[in-house]
């Protein structure tokens, strides 16, 4: 019995090591900040998502930047229904120039309704932007990130602020 344990140990450790190495190395090419709360006040919670991706051979990737805006009930519970004119999102693709982040590309404001969907993919929905920024062909190789700007109108004021995706190196 002890000889089986000694023989099984390297196999077990090898399998665990292989699984850890596979899980630890990123299989994707994107950086993402999901459902970041940018406002939580009386009757309204505003959340935003920001993401950036760049083309990497052998992975599901593209030179895309992402931004979403969600209106939720106070306390950030369920999606809140708002007309298209009351919800907006835009994004900036930023590049590090060695001393500061500068705008490489920018989208216009996109307006769309918000609410809560059910079914197979439940959750809040709202205006979203998926933008092909062109990768390093746009502003050269370097570090890139997305600043999403989710905003919701509550009837008296716009509420929201920027959401940073984080950055990644785009060769």
pLDDT tens digits, one per residue of 73-118: 999 999 999 999 999 999 999 999 999 999 999 999 999 999 999 9
Q: Does the pLDDT of residue 1 top 50, yes or no?
A: no
pLDDT of residue 54: 85
End-to-end CA distance of the chain: 54
Within a domain: 13: no
Q: What distances in angstroms separate CA 52 from CA 23, 28, 66, 76, 164, one per listed residue? A: 21, 11, 6, 25, 10
Q: Which of the pair, 124 or 2, is modelled with greater confidence? A: 124
Q: Cα–Cα distance between 151 and 46 in angstroms, integer?
A: 7
Q: What would the two tokens of residue 156 be?
A: 């008296």
Within a domain: 21: no
Within a domain: 8: no
Within a domain: 77: yes
Give me the mean pLDDT over the 136-149 stretch: 95
% of the chain beyond a pLDDT of 70:
79
Q: Cα–Cα distance between 49 and 69 in angstroms, integer?
A: 7
Within a domain: 131: yes
Q: What would the two tokens of residue 111 be?
A: 């307006």
Q: What distances in angstroms separate CA 62 from CA 22, 47, 94, one per listed residue? A: 22, 25, 17
pLDDT tens digit sequence for 5-53: 444 444 444 433 433 333 333 434 679 999 999 999 999 999 999 999 9
pLDDT of residue 57: 57
3-state helix, strand, coil in the chain (%, to 5): 20, 50, 30
Contact predicate 73/39, CB 8 Å: no
Tally of domains within the chain:
1
pLDDT of residue 24: 33
Within a domain: 129: yes
pLDDT of residue 56: 65
Q: 140 lies in which domain range?
A: 29-170
Within a domain: 34: yes
Q: What would the two tokens of residue 50 be?
A: 């920001």
Indicate the pLDDT class of residue 60, thresholds 50, 70 and 90.
Answer: low
Beta strand pairing call for 128-132 and 123-125 = unpaired
Within a domain: 6: no
Contact predicate 51/66, CB 8 Å: yes
pLDDT of residue 105: 97
């Amino acid at each position: 019995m002890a000889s089986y344990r000694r023989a099984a140990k390297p196999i077990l450790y090898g399998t665990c090591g292989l699984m850890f190495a596979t899980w630890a190395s990123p299989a994707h090419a994107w950086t993402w900040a999901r459902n970041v709360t940018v406002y939580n006040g009386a009757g309204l919670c505003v959340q935003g998502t920001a993401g950036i991706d760049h083309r990497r051979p052998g992975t599901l990737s593209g030179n895309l930047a992402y931004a979403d805006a969600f209106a939720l009930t106070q306390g950030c519970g369920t999606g809140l229904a708002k007309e298209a004119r009351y919800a907006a999102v835009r994004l900036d693709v930023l590049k590090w120039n060695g001393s500061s982040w500068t705008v490489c590309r920018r989208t216009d404001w996109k307006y769309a309704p918000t609410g809560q969907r059910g079914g197979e993919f439940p959750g809040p929905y709202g205006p979203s932007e998926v933008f092909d920024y062109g990768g390093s062909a746009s502003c050269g190789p370097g570090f890139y990130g997305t600043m999403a700007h989710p905003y919701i109108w509550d009837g008296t004021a716009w509420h929201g602020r920027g959401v940073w995706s984080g950055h990644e190196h785009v060769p």
